[in-house]
Structure 1
């Protein structure tokens, strides 16, 4: 049997493996987990120095409390008392105006006295309307300030929470990349987290070979940590994007039967099985000359046509009968 395969190299990765980043710049205050710890989504991983953020949050909390409607009850009560006083004065001036009006109808009093009463009534009416308007505008302003200060408090609290870097999902802490006192930026990872017991294989495929690779194909995997052993896997995903620097594609695979112990970032080599034949005439690959010639006795070169080949053997489709004695090229 001969098998044609594509060579690939790569690493073992935890399923759902990801790097944890901070959203703000800062200094590491405390590392809250250790390598190997199991974490849930939202578990605090690293605490950054947050003195200023904490004080801003406290200050925003004080402002929110001071700006609340309930905290300005005395001010509103005073305005409501002004409305009550203005209403009483308006009612009194309205009564005096009606009385003066009746007297004037009976030709009692002077026109000046009547007009004076009418002016006082209008002034009281304006004062009453102004008192109500001032109360309504103040209440509206206080409610706006209360909502604004609460929203500002939420923003500041969110900013303060940014100084606690948390896990994005369930998993195991593979590595902590920062120590207390070190600087953190949004561009540098602070930890690596992935599944505790589920792993995948990430392989790099040369641009020349990627067209031959399909999902579901069998892979034979070798690892330095399990020397002399080969493990079967299968292609599960082909990422349709070429790395311009390495001119390679990334594919993912899973073990059919995984080794008993795995760790993230173990290196591996693999052969992806493209095709195979149970019965075929094959020769050692290093017996092939210039791609399509073999060397017979008396240094005679024989042209052959080839088929499948792997890293050890090559299939001969024509040019040899199978009983010739080949000579290995020097």
Structure 2
């Protein structure tokens, strides 16, 4: 019985060994490309998040999500009574500072100047007469002194009248300029109550509703170009040295399963994101899909280099990155070139006639 059992086990082993065929292949010539994998999201070109420049209550939404918008067009209005009252006060101050409001006082000063001038000229004439009489021995010394004193007083009064007039004109000009600047500042603050688009594009999202309280930290809307989109990708710092402007990018999206779209790398942001340890790069579609929306996810391969008609083997046949097994199980050293996830280029060590055995996993 024992002999029969032993014979049965041996027969089973022979059958298993004969039925198990080892996987062997020959190297083939084909094209190979090296690429860097990246993932990211699609954004509208120029896409930005708009914030309020002032605090207040959202008074009115003038446009809706999906509406096209022109640069400078008002999207929404914020209500702020303090800003409005400040502008009205500045307008009143500007109106009061206008030269026309000071015309009466200016005329009064001009009259004062004329009177002072007349008195000055009259006292000058009387002084000369008194001096002529005194030179002829006529009159008293006290009369001459009084004439001189009156002349000096009228002269000072005339000069001070002119100075007051010039000072008042300068004051008017300063107040007018100052009031104008204050009004411009107030009007600028009031313009902050209106959110305006920075570009011609589309409103992709409105993030607030009418009646909400907003502050300068409140995001109000997301705006971007209507027809131009960019592919924003994250590249690991390990691969960033291989990335260059102008490289081809092959893009796949869940929204267009089974399709591959080509793009070109157009921007490399030079700052490493310390949190994610990655760099942000951007590409533009060469043949973009007909319908796109911001924040769609995608996966991409950035082609680093491509070689045509080279000797390749599947990566699963490569052992320790530098050796292969021939059909008899002997180890052969090879020199490798480009690699991707499926195949590897063989530069030297074997030929198309070399039969290779797949290493055991």
The two structures have a TM-score, normalised by structure 1, of: 0.88
Counterpart among 160, 166, 169 of residue 136 in structure 1: 166
1:91 maps to what in 2?
121
Written as runs of structure 1 = structure 2, the 5 A alignment for 1:1-330 is 1-286=31-316, 288=318, 291-292=321-322, 302=331, 305=334, 306-317=336-347, 324=355, 326-327=357-358
Deviation, structure 1 residue 114 = 2.9
Instruction: Report Cα offsets for 1:81-125 as digits up to 9, x if no partner.
Output: 111111222233333333434444444443323322332222222
C-alpha separation in 1, matches of 2:101 and 2:297: 65
Instruction: Report Cα offsets for 1:122-160 as digits up to 9, x if no partner.
Output: 222221111111111111111111111111211222122
Cα gap change, 1:109 to 1:203, in 2 (>3 Å): same
Q: Would the aligned equivalents of 2:58 and 2:79 in 1 still touch at CA under 8 Å? A: yes
C-alpha separation in 2, matches of 1:105 and 1:229: 119
SS of 2:271 mapped into structure 1 = strand
The two structures have a TM-score, normalised by structure 2, of: 0.81
Deviation, structure 1 residue 319 = 6.0
Instruction: Report Cα offsets for 1:211-247 as digits up to 9, x if no partner.
Output: 2222222221100110111111222222222211111
C-alpha separation in 1, matches of 2:256 and 2:102: 74
Deviating more after overlay: 252-261 vs 169-178: 169-178
Cα gap change, 1:284 to 1:177, in 2 (>3 Å): farther
Q: Would the aligned equivalents of 1:39 and 1:170 in 2 still touch at CA under 8 Å? A: yes
Deviation, structure 1 residue 59 = 0.5
Cα gap change, 1:220 to 1:91, in 2 (>3 Å): same
Deviation, structure 1 residue 202 = 1.4
CA-atom RMSD, angstroms? 2.7
C-alpha separation in 2, matches of 1:304 and 1:232: 38
| Structure with bigger gyration radius | 2
